[in-house]
Structure 1
Amino acid sequence: MQIKNEVLKNAEQRQPVLVQHFQNVIKHRELAHAYLFAGPSGSGKAELAMWIAMRLFCINVQDGEPCGVCEECQRITAHEHPDVVIVEPDGNAIKVDQVRFLKAEFSKSGVEGSRKVFIVAGTETMTASAANSLLKFLEEPAGDMTALLLTTNPQLVLPTVISRTQVIEMQPLSEDQVRVQFSRVGLPADLIGLTLQLTHDPNEVADWLVDDWLQQAVASVWQWFSQVAKPDLNAFVLVSTTLVPLAKDRPHQRLLLDMMLSGFRDLLMTNVADKKFTPRFAKHDKELAILASQYNETNLLEITDLGLQSKQLLERNVNFQNIAESLTLQVIDRLSEAIT
């Protein structure tokens, strides 16, 4: 029951205006057959989609709100309702077999009634051919069906798909709202500043907190960064002993590189910014000030650029350890020249 209520609560807290909008739309039977929810991670796309599904199937609607506790709401929340089809990217993309499953489901009527709802997360990760397979349904919806397509990047969604849906832009949460959401999932206060630069999605943060991964990653990246910024070749050893064990897949590798870049940014901004600047590694502000005083702005811009180039290499599927070790040696080389 707690999880079910959490879904509804998150939808209402993150997108209260849109929840009210869909209350009225459903009340007046004006729901369109297809929507594209566009917004950044954490903006409430999935929660709003689940809210709509529960509102449509709930057997105990009260004042336009789904109850969240009836059998229908429970099954939807658990992804077990046969007439609420939910597809999420398998890894980094929606795969071919998932698209085949969707196409098959589009051709079927509801199992328990006439209504059917489709929730497709990561719509932008579909290939062009996969997305085109949705067009027949979007052009000629069969029966009482509603498709809710979710995307963080509408620019990557086929224009033909966009033109056949009602596009709903998610309003981004304020920083204060995000901070509250982060606190609720258990993020330590001293990590909130850094984490805000990595995501605004509390669900992602909750995943990172499992087995203390985030805490270990932040500590390990700082240990590496404080050595590379001295500059000290011990940082090269730390890549294989502390960073690589945490880089278990591409998403975690991206996160680690983003944290490493945050260190470079802190160093640069500490060097050039006024006292109002708050470092992402805020608990190490005194050490950052000492390190930053050794270099000039040009030096720090150069190593920041090296970090950005490393992110590009990762997207080209270069091995993470090779990227991190090469970055370490290049930064040490540049900074060594700067202080000699």
Structure 2
Amino acid sequence: MPTNNDVLTIAEQRQPVLVQHFKNVIKKNELAHAYLFAGPNGSGKEELAMWIAMRLFCINLQDGQPCGKCEECQRISQREHPDVLIVEPEGNSIKVDQVRLLKSEFSKSGMEGNKKVFIIAGAETMTASAANSLLKFLEEPSGNITALLLTTNPNLLLPTVISRTQEMEMQPLAVNELQSQLESAGVGKHLLALTSRLTNSPDQAAEWLVDDWLGQTAAAVWQWESQLLKPDMSAFVTVGTTLVPLAKDRPHQRIVLDIILAGFRDMLLENIDHEKFVMSFPSHRKDLQELTTRYSKKQLVDVTDLGLQSKQLLERNVSFQNVAESLTLKAFNVLSK
């Protein structure tokens, strides 16, 4: 969670539509008792929640905007305001005792006024008992209380929790803003286009950079795809020797297939109109231009479709090696027609 007044600027930059929405809602005194903010890390949901808290307590509002400098705003940003309570996972989850503490606070009147705000970050990590414990408040709110639940994955929340809130989906980051965040997370310029196609989360991208996993995987996928296009049957061997070791678990396997699809997209768009698209593999543009000229649009569309089918097979618990080897053979068959 943010801890300084930069939250105001970040909220405005990353979620300008929602900031304006909440300006209007608060001005009309129509704020709901519970919201669910859903979006990837870095999308500005934490900052938006803090903006709302500051807006409700700020004593020096400027055109509906909290000043960020008054005592109330400062105490909120420093997590010292008695009527703004922030709950985050302890370890890997939010536990029932944390929610019980929340409920005890819910039952009290505001320490310094008649408003209270609760921010529950990582709401998807609530244990089942914690989520069930929270339900009573969400079903029967009392007093001037606003709960803001933040999640990267609403699918992991109990449907009963979601149904008691107003769900707000964070707007995707603008490309330049996302790429700026990715660079700050350590993503090299040669991987920016590919990474921004794979995720909106700088935190997730940073995880892929450990031991240069993303760089090695991008290089391995390009090696495999260039072998397909030559065509060179050693692509089948590359699956077992290079791709499989990098696809070490199901999440990484999904990303490897997403990188393969990004490469297929480059192949197809290079064939259709090579001047009007941003490549996922820009350093290989010249090679790709040479390799795709021998194929028809239909062939490349069919290969891309095979890649999409491979993702479906992986989700049916077919092993990654079988999926990738089958994709290789089927793609060879299409490209050799």
- The two structures have a TM-score, normalised by structure 2, of 0.74
> What's 1:86 paired with?
88
> What's 1:93 paired with?
none
After TM superposition, give the deviation of residue 277 of structure 1 in Å. 3.1
Change (3 A) 1:264 1:130: farther
Change (3 A) 1:209 1:17: same
Return the alpha-carbon distance in structure 2 between the equivalents of residues 305 and 126 of structure 1.
38
The answer to whether the Cα contact below 8 Å between 2:4 and 2:77 also exists between their aligned partners in 1 is yes
After TM superposition, give the deviation of residue 69 of structure 1 in Å. 11
Deviates more, 1:170-179 or 1:4-13: 4-13
Change (3 A) 1:223 1:285: same
Change (3 A) 1:65 1:266: same
After TM superposition, give the deviation of residue 14 of structure 1 in Å. 1.0
> What's 2:322 paired with?
322
Q: Secondary structure at the match of 1:323?
A: helix
> What's 1:94 paired with?
none
After TM superposition, give the deviation of residue 331 of structure 1 in Å. 1.8
After TM superposition, give the deviation of residue 264 of structure 1 in Å. 1.4
Q: Secondary structure at the match of 1:182?
A: helix
After TM superposition, give the deviation of residue 203 of structure 1 in Å. 2.7
After TM superposition, give the deviation of residue 40 of structure 1 in Å. 6.0
Q: Deviations over 1:147-177 (max 9, x none)?
A: 2234567799787655533343433332232
The answer to whether the Cα contact below 8 Å between 1:88 and 1:121 also exists between their aligned partners in 2 is no
Residue pairs, 1:75-114, within 5 angstroms: 83-87=85-89, 100=96, 104-109=100-105
> What's 1:34 paired with?
34
Q: Secondary structure at the match of 1:107?
A: helix
Return the alpha-carbon distance in structure 1 between the equivalents of residues 122 and 333 of structure 2.
44
Residue pairs, 1:254-269, within 5 angstroms: 254-269=254-269
Q: Secondary structure at the match of 2:168?
A: strand
Note if 1:119 corresponds to 2:115: no
Q: Deviations over 1:244-284 (max 9, x none)?
A: 33223332221111110111121122122253233221211
Q: CA RMSD in A?
A: 4.4
> What's 1:253 paired with?
253
The answer to whether the Cα contact below 8 Å between 1:109 and 1:116 also exists between their aligned partners in 2 is no
Identity level (%): 57
The answer to whether the Cα contact below 8 Å between 1:55 and 1:66 also exists between their aligned partners in 2 is no
Change (3 A) 1:7 1:257: farther
After TM superposition, give the deviation of residue 178 of structure 1 in Å. 2.1
> What's 1:213 paired with?
213
Q: Secondary structure at the match of 1:168?
A: strand
Q: Deviations over 1:62-117 (max 9, x none)?
A: 983556997874569xxxxx942225996xxxxxx857566545533279x86562
Return the alpha-carbon distance in structure 2 between the equivalents of residues 233 and 305 of structure 1.
20
Change (3 A) 1:332 1:284: same
Return the alpha-carbon distance in structure 1 between the equivalents of residues 10 and 312 of structure 2.
34
Change (3 A) 1:101 1:69: same
Change (3 A) 1:6 1:198: farther
Q: Structure 2: which 5+ residue stretches go unaligned?
A: none
> What's 2:136 paired with?
136
Q: Deviations over 1:23-53 (max 9, x none)?
A: 7877998754211224566432233235556
Change (3 A) 1:164 1:297: same
> What's 1:286 paired with?
286
Change (3 A) 1:304 1:120: same
After TM superposition, give the deviation of residue 122 of structure 1 in Å. 6.4
- Paired amino acid for 1:234: S
Change (3 A) 1:21 1:227: same
Change (3 A) 1:127 1:102: closer
Change (3 A) 1:2 1:186: farther
Note if 1:243 corresponds to 2:239: no
- Paired amino acid for 2:252: H
